[in-house]
C-alpha cells in the first residue's frame, strides 16, 4: 500500500487493503487521489473533453482496452474516477459508476437490467420522481411495476411474478416518513427468486448505513444531497460489485448521463467531511423531533430516531444514527381544509429556513411534500404513501438547533 506519510492517495488497486487498514474518515479523505507529476496535495480538476496519445498504436491499444488510459470524459475522466473510487470504498463496494444526477443513476440501473416484459417491485415510499420513472416512462418500454408497502414483507413476496420480476427497489429510510426497510429480509427474499435488490441510500449515506452489508446488490446515491452537503452541484452514483457495475457503465458510456468532472471534484471535497456532517445533522434532527413531539400544534412526528417510531429498533440495527430528515403532520385549523392551510401557515411563517424541495444542505430546508416533491402523484398514490396535506418535511441543517426551533415555533404557535 502507498505510504500515507508521503501524502499519497489510495487508488482503486488498494481498496481491499484500505478497508482493512484505515477507518471511514481516513478513506473519505485519502481514497481516489493518485498525485500527478505536479505532486499536488489536493485532488486536481481535469476539465478536458478528450485525451491525447504518443502514437497511433498507443491510441489503438487504449481504445481496444489492451492498455489502460483515458479516452473521452463522457466515460473516462480522472476526477470522476477519483470520486467513484472514494464512494465505492466508503460503501465497502468493488466499483462505482458516477452519473449526472440521482435519477440518472436509477434510470441507468433500469436500462442495464430490465427489458420489455420484465417486472419491478418497488416501495410506495420513494421519491415522487422515482415513482414517475417506473410508472410512466419504464412502462413505455414494456416494463411493469408493482408498488408495495415498504415494511410489509408479505406484499413484496405476493407481488413477485415468477420469471418476470427482475428487480426490487426501495429507499430506506424513506422519503419523507422515515419508514425503515428490513434489508436482510428483503435481500433474502429477492435472492431466493434470483431478483436484483437495489437500495437508495441517499438519506443515510455510507456514513450511517452500508446496505451491501445487509445483502443489497446495488446502491443508488443522489450525490446532490449529503455527499456534497452544501447544495452546490448535481450528481448521482450506482455502487456495487464490479460485474453488475460493468453493465451500468456500458449504459452510461453509450447513453451519456455522465457526471461532470467539476461536480465530481466538488463531491470529493464534500465527502471529506461526510461523517462529521451526518453526525451533526443526526444530533440536531433528534433534538428537533423530540421538541416537535411535545408541541400541541403537531399531530405526529416521523423520525426513526424516536423510540415511538415503528422502525426505531430496526433502524438501530442497520444504521449508526438516524439522519437529518424529520417530517411532521400539523393539526388542521378548525373549519379550514384538511391540513394544507395549517402546513402552509407554518412554512410561510419561517424567516430563516429555506423553502425548497432539496435536502442534504448545511442550510435547513422546509417543504410541503404533497405539493412539491410528491406533487405529481395521484391523490390515491399520495394516500397510499402516507403523504397528507398537513405533512411538512424538514431537512435539518447545521445551524444552531435553537434557532431552527425558534423559526418553526413562529408558525406552530400561530396555529394554537
pLDDT of 128 reads 87
Nearest alpha carbon to residue 248 among 113, 81, 68, 121: 113
pLDDT tens-place string over residues 10-46: 444 444 444 457 899 999 999 999 899 999 999 999 9
Low-confidence ranges of the chain (pLDDT < 50): 1-19
Running DSSP on this structure, what letter comes out for residue 31?
Answer: B
pLDDT of 4 reads 39
Whole-number Å distance between alpha carbons of 144 and 167:
11
Question: What domains can you pick out in the chain, each with its CATH number?
Answer: 4-271 (3.40.640.10), 274-414 (3.90.1150.10)
Whole-number Å distance between alpha carbons of 307 and 314:
11
Task: For 324-391, give the DSSP string.
Answer: SEEEEEEPPPTTS-SSHHHHHHHHHH-SSSEE-S--SSSS-EEE-GGGTTTTTS-HHHHHHHT--TTE
Q: E strand or H helix at 405, and its extent?
A: helix 401-414
Give the relative orientation of helices 340-349 and 401-414 as an angle to the nearest 10 degrees: 140
Q: Where are the beta strands (DSSP E) in 52-193?
A: 95-99, 119-123, 144-148, 165-171
pLDDT of 7 reads 40
- CA 388 to chain CA mean position, Å: 23
pLDDT of 331 reads 94
pLDDT of 20 reads 55
List Cβ neighbours of 64 (8 Å cut-off, separation of 6 or more): none
pLDDT tens-place string over residues 333-372: 877 778 999 999 999 999 999 999 999 999 999 999 999 9
Give the SS3 label for residue 271.
Answer: helix
Amino acid at each position: 500500500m502507498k505510504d500515507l506519510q508521503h501524502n499519497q492517495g489510495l487508488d482503486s488497486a488498494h481498496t481491499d487493503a484500505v478497508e482493512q487498514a484505515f477507518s471511514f474518515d481516513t478513506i473519505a479523505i485519502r481514497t481516489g487521489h493518485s498525485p500527478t507529476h505536479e505532486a499536488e496535495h489536493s485532488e486536481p480538476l481535469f476539465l478536458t473533453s478528450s485525451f491525447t496519445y504518443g502514437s497511433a498504436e498507443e491510441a489503438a491499444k487504449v481504445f481496444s482496452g489492451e492498455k489502460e488510459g483515458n479516452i473521452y470524459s463522457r466515460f473516462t475522466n480522472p476526477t470522476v474516477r477519483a470520486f467513484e473510487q472514494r464512494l465505492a470504498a466508503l460503501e465497502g463496494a468493488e466499483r462505482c459508476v458516477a452519473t449526472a444526477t440521482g435519477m440518472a443513476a436509477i434510470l441507468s440501473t433500469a436500462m442495464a437490467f430490465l427489458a420489455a416484459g420484465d417486472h419491478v417491485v418497488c416501495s410506495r415510499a420513494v421519491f415522487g420522481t422515482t415513482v414517475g420513472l417506473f410508472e410512466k416512462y419504464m412502462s413505455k418500454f414494456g416494463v411493469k411495476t408493482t408498488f408495495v408497502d415498504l415494511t410489509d414483507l408479505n406484499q413484496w413476496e405476493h407481488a413477485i411474478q415468477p420469471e418476470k420480476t427482475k428487480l426490487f427497489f426501495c429507499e430506506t429510510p424513506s422519503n419523507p416518513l422515515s419508514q425503515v426497510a428490513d434489508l436482510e429480509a428483503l435481500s433474502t427474499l429477492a435472492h431466493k427468486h434470483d431478483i436484483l435488490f437495489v437500495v437508495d441510500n441517499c438519506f443515510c449515506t455510507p456514513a450511517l448505513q452500508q446496505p451491501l452489508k445487509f445483502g443489497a446488490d446495488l446502491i443508488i446515491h443522489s450525490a446532490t444531497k449529503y455527499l456534497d452537503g452544501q447544495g452546490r452541484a448535481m450528481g448521482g452514483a450506482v455502487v456495487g460489485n464490479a460485474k453488475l457495475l460493468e453493465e451500468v457503465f456500458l449504459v452510461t458510456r453509450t447513453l451519456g448521463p455522465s457526471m461532470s468532472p467539476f461536480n465530481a471534484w466538488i463531491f470529493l471535497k464534500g465527502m471529506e467531511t461526510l461523517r462529521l456532517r451526518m453526525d451533526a445533522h443526526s444530533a440536531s434532527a433528534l433534538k428537533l423531533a423530540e421538541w416537535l413531539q411535545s408541541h400541541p400544534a403537531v399531530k405526529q412526528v416521523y423520525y426513526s430516531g424516536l423510540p415511538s417510531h415503528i422502525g426505531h429498533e430496526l433502524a438501530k440495527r442497520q444504521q449508526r444514527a438516524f439522519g437529518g430528515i424529520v417530517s411532521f403532520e400539523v393539526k388542521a385549523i378548525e373549519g379550514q381544509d384538511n391540513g394544507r392551510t395549517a402546513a402552509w401557515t407554518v412554512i410561510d411563517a419561517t424567516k430563516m429556513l429555506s423553502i425548497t424541495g432539496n435536502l442534504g444542505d448545511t442550510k435547513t430546508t422546509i417543504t410541503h411534500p404533497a405539493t412539491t416533491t410528491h406533487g405529481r402523484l395521484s391523490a390515491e398514490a399520495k394516500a397510499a404513501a402516507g403523504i397528507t396535506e398537513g405533512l411538512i418535511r424538514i431537512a435539518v441543517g447545521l445551524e444552531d438547533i435553537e434557532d431552527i426551533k425558534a423559526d418553526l415555533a413562529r408558525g406552530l404557535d400561530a396555529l394554537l
